[in-house]
Structure 1
Amino acid sequence: MRALIGFALLSFSLAVPAAGQDVSLRGLGRFDGWRENALIGYGLVTGLAGSGDTRRSAVTRQALRNVLSRLGTTVSDDQISSRNVAVVMVIATLPASANVGDRIDATISSIGDARSLAGGTLLMTPMLGPDQRPYALAQGALVAGGYSFESELNQQQRNYPTTALLQGGATVETAVDAHILKPDGQLSFLLSDPGFETAQRIADAINNRFGIGSATAKSADEVKVRYAGDPAQLTTFLAQIEAISVRPDSAPRVVVNERTGTIVAGGDVQISSVAISQGDIKITIKAENIASQPGYFSGFASDVRSLVVTNTKLDVEEGVGDTVVRFPNTTVADLVQGLSRAHVNTRRMISILQAIKTAGALHADIIVQ
């Protein structure tokens, strides 16, 4: 049986890892200045069927009074007792380039003691940027991904009904545009996965396309690009750069998730010659309590009690499916396939990979999630 396993492992160790592929620059990074912007707002949700904030929420009563006063209605604090209103926070993401009238999604979450936002409607809420300027207005009916019902101490809840989505319910009121071209006439291309070799390959590819001196690899995560053309043709120039394809240098990494038993590794992650011994030792401890009853005594004696005796039995059982295998210089992909043929489960594979890394035979970083 072990001979068959060794033959299977040897056959898998002869596998050839797949070669890297060229990737366009739009998939490797972004230009400095091209980024999304966070928006936040504070508003009210109405139309809730008794699942809104209670009277204990003074913030809700104050916000409702402010809204009614702007609409020409004056009410006192004692006159507000409805549970159909909830105070919420509204967040959204403004694209790097947006025009007036564009619609974006917004997420609404309760900050009071409301039980559910299902069926509610968000009143007009200004969406502010980091500079405290309003960039969008959010308003409309909410879509909650859950529900919560309660009656006579019985409650049924699904997901989180205190968070809802306002799809396309925020309208952009201030146009924004990314500023990519620096005053000195240079662009900065930022790599998503920094690497010196990848940055140099990007610079070489741009120089081959637009001429020597057009690009310089400044660091592992930034490539400087010089642009001396017409600013009106900048969009065309950027599109041509994003269409350039290079072969990125993949960092040797092994990502493991112990909770789900998942292993993800590049096909070319190398492992030096190593021997693996995988076996089980099963230890079982059994405790048995026995009560020793005293014999019969005539009359009653307060100092006579039962005696409880505990007997402990320890069993040690060695696994019958122990496996000892040897791997020549190979890759993580071949190792995992070989261990699968040896019926080693995923969680044990993770322990084996960590032990190989500790032994210095795994030439990659192990990232545990």
Structure 2
Amino acid sequence: MMKRFLTLALLILASLSTPAFAERVKDLGQFEGLRVNQLTGYGIVVGLAGTGDDSLEYATQGMKGVASRFGITLPAGVNPALKNSAAVIITADLPPMAKPGQRLDITVSALGKAKSLRGGTLMMSPMRGADGQIYAMAQGNLAVGGLGVEAADGSKLSINIPSAGRIPSGATIEQAVLNGFGDTPLLTFNLAEADLTTAQRVAQSINASIGMGRARAMDAVSIAIEAPTGVEGRSTLMSQIENLYVDPADAPARVIVNARTGTVVINGAVRIRPAAVSHGKLTVKVDEDPRIVQPAPFSKGETALEPSSTITVEEHRSPMFAVQETASLSDIVKVVNAIGASPADLVAILEALKQAGAMKAELVIL
């Protein structure tokens, strides 16, 4: 009996500690200064089975540069065979607080006319940041998921993209990025989506945890936090703040329409004021039934094809439906299903409701 009581008490405490629909602060945004940095590089992939570049000038220069690293100087006017090599662009994301010696996954993509990078090896290549400095060195064997085959008669078969591949842990970090967040006067947390109510609630949750008045919402995105200087002390405070739970504000009423696929998404905040909806559909059908006309016997006429067309117009009428005030998402779906509207027709109905002032929601067309 005592064991059951303790189990029930723990369940009640767990339900009280986390509010309904609450989310962690770390899922709502990130601290300023802890950002991903993009790295790019230029390199040469060798060891290809005749699927490399033909005679690109920058590929030739790249091969000469690779040869010069080993003390080999190619004679003037002599260009190396490039069918087994390819010029490539290398990309990677440098995570925040990455340290020298750590490894990065890299993506390697053909720059020229290389047909496939399968079986290739990337030679040692520097990777630079936006400031032009070298932050990583890349090298390794490519893993290519695509496949390309070409026959002698010109027929081709391609599966996925054989001209791009990845190298897991293919780059080594050479230097760290200075973020400077340990010496800034204030610690700033930025929301992923701007919302004044959510910013205020995050600030209130932080004050309730670390002390009143230490956090304040600067605007709809940024929350400024008074924190001790130094990376170690701020890291501890940031870990504490990230694991706080906040009940974010409801999203604004929004209708998302993908014009290419016909997908329509309506969030739960959309409400409809009293309105009447009627939807009709007009179908035009054209049937072609050409006939062959034979000339009369012993005449000089020729056999001809006489066109014969039949046009049919059908109009489908649907009764008018009334939409009640403060209709919820389920009510909107019922009305749309009742009149048999397709996704394309639904877009026209929603636009008409918005123009009539019956729907107070943002209509986003993708």
Q: TM-score, normalised by structure 1?
A: 0.83
**Alpha-carbon distance between aligned partners in 2 of 1:287 and 1:342, rounded to the nearest angstrom:** 32
The aligned runs of 1:12-23 (5 Å cut-off) are 21-23=21-23
2:43/2:124 contact within 8 Å kept? yes
2:60/2:79 contact within 8 Å kept? no
Could you tell me which amino acid in structure 1 is paired with residue 73 of structure 2? Answer: T
Could you tell me which amino acid in structure 1 is paired with residue 345 of structure 2? Answer: R
1:204 matched residue in structure 2? 204
1:265/1:333 contact within 8 Å kept? no
Could you tell me which amino acid in structure 2 is paired with residue 355 of structure 1? Answer: A
**Alpha-carbon distance between aligned partners in 2 of 1:359 and 1:309, rounded to the nearest angstrom:** 51
2:216/2:223 contact within 8 Å kept? yes
2:321 to 319, 322, 325: 325
Q: CA deviation at 1:352?
A: 2.1
Q: Which moved more, 1:37-46 or 1:288-297?
A: 288-297
1:271 matched residue in structure 2? 272
Could you tell me which amino acid in structure 2 is paired with residue 326 of structure 1? Answer: A
2:158 matched residue in structure 1? 157
1:285/1:313 contact within 8 Å kept? yes
User: Deviations for 1:24-67, whole angstroms, at most 9, x for unmatched residues?
Assistant: 11111111111000101111000100000112x12111211121
Q: CA deviation at 1:258?
A: 3.0
1:9 matched residue in structure 2? none
Q: CA deviation at 1:186?
A: 0.6
Query: How many residues get paired?
Result: 344
**Alpha-carbon distance between aligned partners in 2 of 1:360 and 1:340, rounded to the nearest angstrom:** 22
**Alpha-carbon distance between aligned partners in 2 of 1:348 and 1:332, rounded to the nearest angstrom:** 18
User: Deviations for 1:158-186, whole angstroms, at most 9, x for unmatched residues?
Assistant: 12211111111111111335332453x21
**Alpha-carbon distance between aligned partners in 2 of 1:20 and 1:263, rounded to the nearest angstrom:** 28
1:6 matched residue in structure 2? none
| Closer, same or farther: CA 126–325 of 1 in aligned 2, 3 Å | same
| Closer, same or farther: CA 192–169 of 1 in aligned 2, 3 Å | same
**Alpha-carbon distance between aligned partners in 2 of 1:121 and 1:147, rounded to the nearest angstrom:** 17
Q: Which moved more, 1:276-285 or 1:62-71?
A: 276-285
Q: Which moved more, 1:278-287 or 1:357-366?
A: 278-287
Q: CA deviation at 1:98?
A: 0.7
1:256 matched residue in structure 2? 257
* Helix, strand or coil at the partner of 2:268: coil
Could you tell me which amino acid in structure 2 is paired with residue 345 of structure 1? Answer: S
2:228/2:234 contact within 8 Å kept? no
1:336/1:349 contact within 8 Å kept? no
**Alpha-carbon distance between aligned partners in 1 of 2:303 and 2:149, rounded to the nearest angstrom:** 55
| Closer, same or farther: CA 163–231 of 1 in aligned 2, 3 Å | closer
Q: Which moved more, 1:35-44 or 1:328-337?
A: 328-337
| Closer, same or farther: CA 51–20 of 1 in aligned 2, 3 Å | same
Structure with more contact order per residue of length (Cα contacts < 8 Å, sep ≥ 6): 1
**Alpha-carbon distance between aligned partners in 2 of 1:103 and 1:230, rounded to the nearest angstrom:** 26
| Closer, same or farther: CA 332–352 of 1 in aligned 2, 3 Å | farther
Q: CA deviation at 1:99?
A: 1.4
| Closer, same or farther: CA 193–181 of 1 in aligned 2, 3 Å | same
**Alpha-carbon distance between aligned partners in 2 of 1:181 and 1:67, rounded to the nearest angstrom:** 41
| Closer, same or farther: CA 53–307 of 1 in aligned 2, 3 Å | closer
2:336 matched residue in structure 1? 339
| Closer, same or farther: CA 117–362 of 1 in aligned 2, 3 Å | same
Structure 1: gaps (5+ residues): 1-18
The aligned runs of 1:134-145 (5 Å cut-off) are 134-145=134-145
The aligned runs of 1:173-322 (5 Å cut-off) are 173-176=174-177, 178-181=179-182, 183=184, 185-228=185-228, 232-249=232-249, 250-285=251-286, 313-319=310-316, 322=318
**Alpha-carbon distance between aligned partners in 2 of 1:349 and 1:248, rounded to the nearest angstrom:** 30
**Alpha-carbon distance between aligned partners in 1 of 2:96 and 2:116, rounded to the nearest angstrom:** 33
Could you tell me which amino acid in structure 2 is paired with residue 171 of structure 1? Answer: T
1:13 matched residue in structure 2? none
Q: TM-score, normalised by structure 2?
A: 0.84
| Closer, same or farther: CA 62–232 of 1 in aligned 2, 3 Å | closer
2:60/2:82 contact within 8 Å kept? no
Q: CA deviation at 1:347?
A: 3.3
1:61 matched residue in structure 2? 60
**Alpha-carbon distance between aligned partners in 1 of 2:319 and 2:121, rounded to the nearest angstrom:** 63
2:9 matched residue in structure 1? none
Q: CA deviation at 1:129?
A: 1.1
1:124 matched residue in structure 2? 124
1:12 matched residue in structure 2? none
| Closer, same or farther: CA 207–36 of 1 in aligned 2, 3 Å | same
* Helix, strand or coil at the partner of 1:179: coil
**Alpha-carbon distance between aligned partners in 2 of 1:92 and 1:230, rounded to the nearest angstrom:** 29
Aligned alpha-carbon RMSD (Å): 2.8
Could you tell me which amino acid in structure 2 is paired with residue 207 of structure 1? Answer: N
| Closer, same or farther: CA 206–307 of 1 in aligned 2, 3 Å | same
1:353 matched residue in structure 2? 350
Could you tell me which amino acid in structure 2 is paired with residue 75 of structure 1? Answer: L
Could you tell me which amino acid in structure 1 is paired with residue 359 of structure 2? Answer: L
Could you tell me which amino acid in structure 1 is paired with residue 312 of structure 2? Answer: D
* Helix, strand or coil at the partner of 1:193: coil
**Alpha-carbon distance between aligned partners in 2 of 1:157 and 1:231, rounded to the nearest angstrom:** 51
* Helix, strand or coil at the partner of 2:313: strand
User: Deviations for 1:292-317, whole angstroms, at most 9, x for unmatched residues?
Assistant: 9999999x9xxx99999877654321
Could you tell me which amino acid in structure 1 is paired with residue 329 of structure 2? Answer: V
